[in-house]
Amino acid sequence: MTSLSEAYRNDPITDNHITPLDFDSLDKVPESHLWTQPLNNDVLDSLIPVIDLKDPNAVNLIGQACETWGMFQVINHGVPSELVKKVEFESRRLFALPSDEKCKVLRPSNGATGYGSARISPFFDKCMWHEGFTIMGGSCVDDAKVLWPHDYQTFCDTMDAYEKQMKLLTRNLLLMIFETLDVTQEEINWATSAHDSQGALQLNSYPSCPNPSQALGLAPHTDSLILTLLHQGGVNGLEIFVEGLGWSQVEAVEGAFVVNVGDLLHILSNAKLPVICHRAMVNRSKHRISVAYFHGPAVESRLAPSSKFQSPCFKSMLVKDYLSLKSKHFSKALSLIRI
Ligand SMILES: C=C1C[C@]23C[C@@]1(O)CC[C@H]2[C@@]12CCC[C@@](C)(C(=O)O1)[C@H]2[C@@H]3C(=O)O
Ligand SMILES: O=C(O)CCC(=O)C(=O)O
Ligand SMILES: [Fe+2]
């Protein structure tokens, strides 16, 4: 059976902007990273609700937030805060390595895992103020052994434990979402299966930047899979685009995860749940780390709006074919499969 990382192998990234920059040595934003359009004009305060999972009304609140925004934050989610701190510590340890060390685990152009720029980089003229490290399907040990031949176990154990927690929380959140979204049991199984599901951990690093109004951490995008859980590390940076209003900050709430609907859940819900366009901004004084967990279904499985909808507004296709379309057409992928 094809795995998520194998699915990405068929769509090599041609120009992947992986020319590592020694961000810390720069006192101005170089031409390669200089975004000319105004980036931080009048950002709105947070609109996204923070939902306490212990609230007896949590299911309804989650349902409402998903329908309105395709995004919410969760607290009292049961993921130990010590584990989250360890993940952040290990991520900082990785990104603090010298460039030539990190480049030993550079994501190959036809690969999905390792160190490098975001997959969406080739769609933009300018580079992002960002470095990433992607882990999926057991890639962690191989890469960590290269980075720390005698001291890789802590990194791997931490990431493995975190991924397990993310899987559990994602499943619980999806089950809550499906309590308010009318889909079949088979479709719930497709989205939540513990055996067939595929996940990826993305460690994001946004070094402090001499002129944050000229640089962009992560360019506007929607996440491709079913659901994303993001730890913002206590430093603001995530923004969402709200039609008619503009960019709005998603406040970094201590101990919370930002949860957002991905393209595949948007399709399953026949566009009833919106998929929100978001970006990451950078900061003058703080080196921001965020950690995203992406949850997806089996890549060989079929994707379509729930059969409960009389008039499906998206074509049916294999998950791997949708991911391939997204790799080639990025933000146009959803409109290309619209009926
Ligand atoms: C499973 C995945 C989702 C992701 C592509 C990836 O293979 C691993 C990295 C993820 C990420 C993180 C930054 C933003 C994003 C759009 C990107 O370029 O790489 C997402 C991808 C996605 O959701 O499509
Ligand atoms: O770092 C952030 O706030 C956003 C990260 C993100 O959007 C992603 O990893 O897909
Ligand atoms: Fe994202």
Report the chain (339 residues): mean pLDDT per 10 consecutive residues.
82 60 83 80 85 98 98 98 98 95 91 93 93 90 96 96 97 98 96 89 96 94 98 96 92 97 98 98 95 96 96 96 95 96
- What residues does each domain of the chain span? 4-298
Which amino acid belongs to residue 300?
E
Q: Whose CA is nearest to atom 10 of ligand 2?
A: 223
Exactly one of 119, 288, 302, 338 is catalytic; name it: 288
238 pocket-lining for ligand 2 (C-beta < 6 Å) = yes
Cα 294 to ligand 1 centre (Å): 8
| CA 2–ligand 2 middle distance (angstroms) | 26
Ligand 2, residues 238, 281, 289, 293: which to mutate, most atoms within 8 A of Cβ? 238
pLDDT digits (tens, 9 = 90+) for 278-314: 999 999 999 999 999 999 999 999 999 999 999 999 9
Supply the pLDDT for residue 180: 96
Residues with CB under 5 A from ligand 3 (ion): 223
Return the ligand 1 atom nearest residue 8 CA.
7
Q: Which atom of ligand 2 is nearest to the CA of 118?
A: 9
> Whole-angstrom Cα distance, residue 263 to residue 271?
9
DSSP of 46-92, one letter per residue?
A: P-S-EEETTSTTHHHHHHHHHHHTSEEEEES----HHHHHHHHHHHH
Encoded tokens for 2: 């094809």
Pocket of ligand 1 (CB under 6 A): 4, 8, 112, 118-120, 134, 200, 202, 221, 223-225, 292, 294
Cβ-Cβ contacts under 8 Å for 145 (sequence gap 6 or more): 152
Look up the ipTM and state it. 0.98
- Distance from chain centroid for Cα 192: 18
Q: Cα(83)–Cα(291) distance, rounded to whole angstroms?
A: 12
Query: Looking at the CA of 234, which ligand is closest?
Result: 2
Q: Are 295 and 170 in contact (CB under 8 A)?
A: yes
What separation in Å is there between the alpha carbon of 224 and the centre of ligand 1? 7
Residue 27: what pLDDT? Answer: 86
Quick one: pLDDT at residue 5? 85
State if residue 278 touches ligand 2 by the CB under 6 angstroms criterion.
yes
pLDDT at 23: 83
pTM > 0.90: yes or no = yes
> Strand locations in the chain, DSSP E?
50-52, 71-75, 114-116, 131-135, 198-206, 218-221, 227-231, 238-242, 246-249, 257-261, 278-280, 288-296, 302-303, 317-318
Give the number of whichever ligand sits closest to the CA of residue 139: 1
Distance CA 1, CA 209 (A): 43
- Mutate which of 236, 290, 295, 331 for ligand 2? The one with the most ligand atoms within 8 Å of its CB, which is 290
308 torsion bin: left (phi>0), alpha (psi -120 to 50), beta (else): alpha
Tokens found for residue 27: 């006192």
Provide the CATH topology of domain 4-298. Answer: Jelly Rolls (2.60.120)
Pairing outcome for strands 71-75 and 50-52: parallel
Which DSSP category does 109 fall into? T
Q: Is 288 a catalytic residue?
A: yes
Q: Is 165 left (phi over 0), alpha (psi -120 to 50) or beta?
A: alpha
Ligand 2 geometric centre to CA of 280 (Å): 6
**pLDDT (0 to 100) of residue 276:** 97
Distance 238 CA to ligand 3 centre (A): 9
pLDDT for residue 36: 82
Which protein residue has the closest C-alpha to ligand 2 atom 1? 290
